[in-house]
Amino acid sequence: MRIAWAVVAIFGARFAALAWHYPGQDADLSWQQWLGQRVLTLHHIPTQLGFETFTANGARWIPQEWLFSTAVAATLPSGHFYILAIVTALAGVCALAVTAWRAHRRGASTFATALTTALVGFAMMQSFGVRAQVFGWALLAIIVLLLDMESPLVFLIVPLTIVWANVHASALLVPALVAFWTLGTAIEDRGWSARVERNVLLTAATALAVFITPFSWHLPAYAVQLQTSAIRSAISEWQPPDLTIPAFFAGLLPLIALGCYFGIAAPRERWRDGMLFAVTVCLAFTAIRHMPLCALVIAPMVAQRLSNAIPQHARLNVVLSERFSELLVIGSSAAAASAIVLTLSHVPAIAHSSLPNEAVAKLAAAPGEHKLYCEDFAWCSMALPKKNLRVFLDGRCDPFPTAVWLAYLDVEKVTPRWSGVLDKYSVDAVLAKAGRPLAQVLALRPGWRVFYHDTGYVVFVRDGVRTAER
């Protein structure tokens, strides 16, 4: 198990380094901070989009990440973001460590536990950030551990689901997982048994638990509606995993392959495992953001089956269990963890902000009110606190009506309707990535001029719009 802890430490170092520099990488923190500040000052959660947007003012909004946003608002402006960064990294570490412990509890060998823990770590890397869903990963790891334990403690899943539902809407996964677990139990017990009865009760309780949020039934309805939403096509995390993504080919795919090779359910009549394997693997193929969830659930099962082929008394595991080997691995891991922290802190893409902070600030400093369209909707999140900027679409994305989304995509993809959309919504400022098609076509379009540009971004404004430079 010590080897697995060493693996966890390496990934923990990477998580911590990424989390530390995260504010410069993700524009979503801006709207989360803005939302959190409204919660802290107004003492209620907004449920409608406001004047900050000119396309969907008054649209219903389910700010499912309200708790996390409050944490962002409580730490980021006061310079204490490092606390949230460390807590998020610890949540990632917790998810990994609990998964490793789950494998160990199942009797997985040293090698199998360490290998599968490393694979889970890789699978988590693509989506890791100071984000609400990382806390969901930790909660998921604990929930499946409780399911594994098959003790009265299993009902702790209900309060954990309530916590998860208030952190992130992905909590809706819990009733589905517990239902499939129950189905597996019924197959194993060949009918209705005390275990099945308990698990049915648990399924019902978790299904009710996701309603215990400030949004009551609106949260499950929102999560279901999101599955068919037009916005999915515009968000990279909702795209299916691909072989070109390291987290998939070096993390999740080997786990699935090992599962397929050894068999999860039938060889040991573990249909509870089999059901979870089936549902999470199918889920993982649909979206990149589901990869860590699948890896966390199936890794201990895979480790257990792998241990049948390479048991604890096998030479490899005996060598790994020797004190010298352990010291060697732990020492190497400590060195690797230090190297990761030091190296990542000097990688320009991570250590320096890649966001258009200055472009937004310059536009906000210009006189008058501006209706801003951002090529990447997340950038517009940075404009939310600016009183004179109103946005077309921002990182909150979910509450914007489908018509607005389609209009946004028309401009982002520069379809033949792009200029008509900008005219229709009276957009007078566009923030685009320099050199990209939108910037190219705006440069050629009469009636638009460059207001600001740097190496990465360019802001166009309509001719006739009053700005400081005119």
List contacts with other proteins (CB under 8 A). 233, 239-240, 242-244, 253, 256-257, 259-267, 274, 277-278, 281-282, 285-286, 305, 410, 413-418, 435-438, 440-441, 444-445
Backbone angles phi, psi at 54, to 5 degrees: -105, 0
Q: Which residue lies nearer to other proteins by CB, 244 or 426?
A: 244
C-beta of residue 307 within 8 angstroms of C-beta of residue 301 = no
DSSP 46-98: --B--TTBSSSTT-B---TTHHHHHHHHHHTTTT-HHHHHHHHHHHHHHHHHH
Q: Which residues, 6 or more positions from 213, have their beta carbon under 8 angstroms from its beta carbon?
A: 64, 162, 165, 166, 219
CB of 314 to other proteins, least distance (A): 16
Query: φ and ψ at 46, to 5 degrees?
Result: -65, 145
Cβ atoms 321, 1 nearer than 8 A: no
| C-alpha pair distances (Å), 393 with each of 55, 268, 360, 431, 457 | 7, 51, 14, 12, 18
Q: How far is the CB of 179 from other proteins (least distance, A)?
A: 17
- Residue 264 Cβ, how far from other proteins at the closest point, in Å? 5
What minimum distance in Å lies between the beta carbon of 69 and other proteins? 31
149-184 exposure pattern, b = at least 16 Cβ within 10 A, e = fewer: eeeeebeebbebbbebbbbbbbbbbbbebbbbbbbb
Smallest distance, other proteins to C-beta of residue 257, A: 6
* Pairing mode of beta strands 448-453, 457-462: antiparallel
Give the whole-angstrom CA distance, residue 114 versus residue 302: 12
278 Cβ contact partners less than 8 Å away, ≥ 6 residues apart: 180
**60: which strand partners?**
48
End-to-end CA distance of the chain: 67
Give the other-Cβ count within 10 Å of 314's Cβ: 15
Our CB check for other proteins shows the closer of 367 and 435 to be 435
Pick 83 or 257: Cβ nearer other proteins: 257
CB of residue 275 vs other proteins: minimum separation in angstroms? 9
Q: Which of 348, 366, 350 is nearest to 431 (CA)?
A: 366
Q: How far lies 252's CA from each of 243, 325, 357, 370, in Å?
A: 10, 27, 35, 45
The answer to whether 12 and 96 are in contact (CB under 8 A) is: yes
- Cβ closer to other proteins: 127 or 166? 127
**Measured from the CB atom, is 345 or 440 closer to other proteins?**
440
Task: For other proteins, give the closer residue by CB, 309 or 339.
Answer: 309
State the nearest-atom distance from the C-beta of 210 to other proteins, in Å. 24
Considering the complex, what minimum distance in angstroms separates the CB of residue 263 from other proteins? 2
| Residue 186 CA, distance from chain mean position | 33
- Report, in Å, the least distance between residue 250 CB and other proteins: 13
Compare residues 175 and 274 and give the one whose CB is closer to other proteins. 274
Q: Which residue has the tokens 């409050």?
A: 70
Nearer to other proteins, 63 or 254 (CB): 254
Give the 3-state secondary structure of residue 451.
strand
